[in-house]
Amino acid sequence: MLRGLNIRRYYFNLYLWTQLNQQFRAFSGVEAHTIHRSLNDPVSGEFSPKTIHRMIGEQIAEIDELSALDAGCGYGGTCLDLHARFGGRWRGITISGRQQKVAAKNAAAMGVDNTVMFERASYDDPVEGSFNLVVSIESLIHAQDPARAVANLAASLRPGGLFIIVDDMPVMNVPNAFADDLEAFKRGWHCPEMPSAEKWSHYLNDAGCAVESVRDLSSLMRPRSQADLDAAAADISAKSWWRPWFGLGSVTGAELGGLLLEKLGREGAVRYQMIVARKAQD
């Protein structure tokens, strides 16, 4: 229970910081209703947080009458964008009450709240309902027990349904030179395990979902130079001394963690990957 409370507080503090600091909105993605990162679109050339939606769309176009679950939906951007393209019924779950309220407000403003719904719930617990698609973008990395989270989500997936995970995944054997950076990132972003693509594939297989593809999207990112990252870290450290007094210490950890993640990605110690798995037919 304490773990869940810590994650909820973490997301609340990030949301609060976006209201206080306009520059931080690039990280939060409030305006785009997303939290996940921008990628270069190899088709359009656009650098956008919706690039991953187009790539997911390539995988789900075959599904008739979508009944989809977004596990860790954030502000609802994935559900809203993919619903606009493919229709169906979408349900997003988030452990953050603030995110759930914002997502529901977004759906109502777009007039789709009867087919795109959001609720406060944890993917670490059994999920009610039946779906032919489960998608999770940059959220399962926070799972207290990733194997259990995958099993819980797969249990709600119908036979033949797709399970898509998009996340930052360390390589199997992280070089010793980056081990400390990886641990510091995990602490800053509240990631207790952070499985590799091989581990995620193992968890999916154990949950009855056969992996169909693993796609490395790291080349589509735009990591900054180390000099730029060092300058940004120094600036954050110099200006964040007051945050713990106001309960915003986790924001500093998130910002510094994001810089470490850029470094780890640029150096190849962490890869940004999309895993597509299919639940076995009865």
pLDDT tens digit sequence for 193-204: 999 999 999 999
Can you give the residue ranges of every domain in the chain?
2-279
Radius of gyration of the chain measured on its C-alpha atoms: 18
Burial (CB < 10 A; 0-12, 13-18, 19+), residue 58, is exposed
Q: Residue 7 has what pLDDT?
A: 52
Please answer whether residues 193 and 146 qualify as being in contact, where contact means their C-beta atoms are separated by less than 8 angstroms. yes
Going 176 to 181 to 187 to 190, the CA torsion angle's sign is: negative
Across the range 4-8, mean pLDDT stands at: 50
Q: Does the pLDDT at position 165 exceed 90?
A: yes
Q: Residue 179 has what pLDDT?
A: 97
The two tokens of residue 277 are 């798995």
Number of H helices, E strands in the chain: 10, 9
Average pLDDT, the chain: 87
Q: What angle do CA 65, 57, 131 make, to 5 degrees?
A: 40
- Domain spanning 2-279 has what CATH number? 3.40.50.150
- What is the DSSP track for 200-265? HHHHHHHTTEEEEEEEE-GGG--PPPHHHHHHHHHHHHHH-TTGGGGT-HHHHHHHHHHHHHHHHH
Per-residue pLDDT band for 19 (boundaries 50, 70, 90) equals very low
CA distances from 201 to 24, 160, 277 (A): 33, 17, 8
- Spatial distance between the Cα atoms of 156 and 149, rounded to a whole number of angstroms: 11
Query: What tens digit of pLDDT does each residue of 217-233 get?
Result: 999 999 999 999 999 99
Query: What tens digit of pLDDT does each residue of 79-100 get?
Result: 999 999 999 999 999 998 888 9
Query: What tens digit of pLDDT does each residue of 249-282 get?
Result: 677 888 898 899 999 999 999 999 999 999 998 7
